[in-house]
Structure 1
Amino acid sequence: MKKGLHLPIYFTLISFTFLTFTFISCDKNSGSGEGAGEPVLVTVNIDANSNYEDGGDIGNNNDQEAKTMASIGLPIESHTIELNDKFLLKAELIPTGQFSPNIARKIKASTSQNASADLKAEKNPLSPNVRYKLVVFKANGDYLREVDYVYTQEASAAKLMLDGTVSYIFVAYSVNSTSVLPAITFSNPANKTLNTASVVAPAGNMDLMYFRRDLTLPQNTATNLDVVLKHKLTQITTTIDASQTEYDIDALSGVTLNNHLPISTLNLSTGNITPSGTATTVPLVFPAGNSMIKTAAPAIINASPAGTTLTIGNLRITHVTAPANITPIGPVTVVAGFKYNMKLTIVPNDEFLTYENQKAVRINGKVWMRLNVGATAGDPDANPTTYLHQGNYYQWGRKFVVGSGTSNLSSAPSGWVSSNFNSPTAWNTGTEAAPKKNITNDPCPTGFRVPTKPEMDDLLSSTIITRNSGNFTTSSTNYNSAFVFTSKRKKSVKLTMPLQGYYTILGYTSNDQNYSFAPFISYRGTYGLYFNSYFLAPRVNSRLTLIANTSSNTASVVIQQPHSGNTVESTPIRCIAGN
């Protein structure tokens, strides 16, 4: 059984031949009465999984990559509110799904339509004894007959005999219930057609599912029709995570999804849903007992066009009680037929700390080293900075030290590599969403790793960037220039990033090899480049770029366009907590 939870629906028809013609002809008169073929038996098997649409996993990037990926998926909604002076509540609404292995190549080529076809469907297991109905229409849309089925008990249903060589339209639907199966409604009962057929789900949050297949039956051949039901409403699974506080959630109540329209009308021809009724709430049910992480049972919502919101009536984390009736997210738009994870993370407010024997700072829940790798300054935020704040230089994906923080090399050191390192797992053997340190190549100390691009993006969005008191001139001996990243939540919490320049290359090659080392450090005092672990394609990596212009500051996390030697250059490294 394929694992997964929620996405597109696929339909498969498998035909096979019965051994005897006598069996096929025994009930000749039960066909449609149209066509020259003998009546044939249509057996229905429903797939063990039902499907949701695929939203992709596109992150929350503020650059062209996010725009490209958004064109083939759905964005992550993210909001952060203060619970009190000690904690923040970060809320994310994430469409579930994943990209197939070649999706990055197709994104890079800007073939978003093709890339969309490669998104993997996520499945939901179908429970035994769920009721569903199969409706048969003639090719012209006229109603013919219907049969009720019970999943895992299909053999006990009435036999469905239809004329061979005739074209039919098969429609199946269910509300994912073992007891409820609503009837079809025809706008003109005297003239029953597919275009006038609909199903109204009982008021509440019934999980409407749908399937359609247009098919011409073979002659004298029994047919096994495999049905995969597609969810038409939205499913949201909500998790509240207080693990960063190291305290349990010991009180939680009154959590609801809002603006749910209780009536859903399914168009049997198109599969489209029309919501109606007075907007109401869907209560979320969390497990009893105390724990750091609580996950509610999945909830079905037929969201109003105005969007849905989440309300928490009462939340307490051991010693801290949140304000009553908070709304950490919304209104946000959710798309019918998609499955989402609502992740609410309780984050201790930004602070300085010692982590894995390193001086560190927590900003928006993420722990950063306060010094570059190799730097030895006693006060990471001394103003201005000195030569002790300058860290080692590293080529992308490697842990060999090209030069110390104060170096000004006239030629390449013996360990310098003259070719691009085109490995997506050079520093990260996981994913951007779930990174995993490659200990073979990562230069960060124990408990830390090279950050991902989204983590650098988050640092920029969570801080205010200013200059220190350095002179910001380009010189091989200018060690006093730095940008200061000050927390937006606590003014005294900051992170200092020296503008210590970088080592670049000379020339261009077409085979990613045999580059020449550019002698002497470039732009020390005015440029600060910091690699992250992101890798999209050969020579397409990413870095934090800090530039001190004459009267302005530039700070951005860029995806470098493919050009000569992106991974051959050498920059300092600033590490983030993680393994």
Structure 2
Amino acid sequence: MKKKSINKNSILLATLSACLFLFSTIASCSKEPNTKIDTENGDLANINVIFKASIYENEGTLGTKSSTGKSNSTPKSLPIQTNTIELNNDFLLVAELAPAENSSSPAKVALASDKKAVVENNNVDADIRYKIVVYNETGKYILEKDYVHGKESLADAFQLPSGKTYSFIAYSVNSTTELPSINFSDIGNKTLSTSNISVAGEQDFMYFRKDMSVSATSQNNLEIILKHLFSQITTSIDATQTKYDITHVSSSIAISHQPNAAINLSTGAVSRSGSGTDISLTFPTTGGMLLTSLSNIINAEASNNMALKIASITIGPLTQTNVIPFSSLNITPGVKYDMKLKIVPTDEYLTHRGVPAVRINGNIWMQHNLGADISIDPAQTPQTVSLFGDYYQWGQNTVVASKTESYPNSNWSSITDLPVNSWNLGTENNPIKASGDPCPSGYRVPTKTEMEKLINSTVASEKGTWSPDENNFTAAKILTSKRRRDVVIYFPIQGGYGYGTGGANGITPTNLIFRGVIGLYWLSTADASSRVSHVYFTNTGISPMFGGSNYDQQATSENIRCIAQ
């Protein structure tokens, strides 16, 4: 049989084609992340991935290696920053910015004997994605593996050639869907020094590095503690002392928060970029006395000029605008902060000069009418005669009728041309108690301006039965503080004694009128026309007003509620 000749050129062509195909395949695969390693000629070491926790700069010792591979000791003390401001004399706002309490409390490590990752109880949510990247001792990129927190058991075995030292990098953006890819500044030279990650400024980037030698004959536990590299602030507003709900709040953190960041995987160093912006606070719900915002990630350099701005806030019936609780806060990257704002009403009950009193919008008022039994709780229901006070004529300091008399006594005077400064030797804005003022030491008759301020600082309501009857002691006007719902002042509706014609100087008193339907309380203010003033309470309104155009109004007999000097 004749032998067939073999064409050498054909063999060479086939060989070259095979080589080109192999080269093309290798080149194509090199574009994808490495998830496996060449076994070479040697034993493989099993790597046990133990996800322990995530930590912030301000959190304490965990008894293991930190995200930088060094022993993790208690960080330097971070100060608690506080400030107190007044809100238009309505409230005190007590503000505090403090490092959050340690939220990482991993349990003891249960060492794994199998080849797959295990996870401890920790403070990271389930299904959070994270990546582990491995470099050899020269810094050459070896492989990377993706994990889903809580599903580590589904991951492939993690093995590396034994007897070598590797750099293990782990990172995450604390997301169940997002996990940034590695960028190499030199794609032809994939090394640790050329590796970086690009993230958005609002992403919660966490980082870990550990250099470790592995052996096929020992346990190789890669205990991961991810460290947050950006700051986080959670803001709460507490208005529980006011007893009112917060129904609206618009606020922001003024800081140079930058929209982008690049992280060097070798060191964890952060390079920030983009134009700095403020961060708006979001409160998921309003309508309660305690509100908590969503946590805000802050991508900014260490700063001592962060400010908290409240454009507007509504607490109960009051709205405050343009409030700045803080203007020069110190913020450290990687620290988790709690910003606590407590609304403290200045309104309160107190004892002033030995007398039960109430402070509303900066002024202290007696809780009882002048002449009432101050040992009786003014809030008692039903109201009794003991809470009724005595009656006085304007400008005088003698009692002309007690709470139970139907007609003024002999102290009543027909003199109605008393000086306009009989109760106030000063001015409307700077009153000075006069000798004819009947209020006890430390108190005086209020001005018309002070009564108007009380009315504007409260919400009015009524109690008891409003009907004309000399024996009706139940009716009262209730003024509730707008700053603190449980601070209340009561004005019994006692009526008064009018005047008629006849008698000395052509004027005579009348019997008790208006009890149970109108409350009449003297004020110290008199105008240039000698008109004196009082406040007029009905079940439909409150009117601080001047009386008639002559001195005759001084002939009436009304109640007095004293204010502190």
TM-score (norm 2): 0.47
Flag the structure with larger Rg. 2
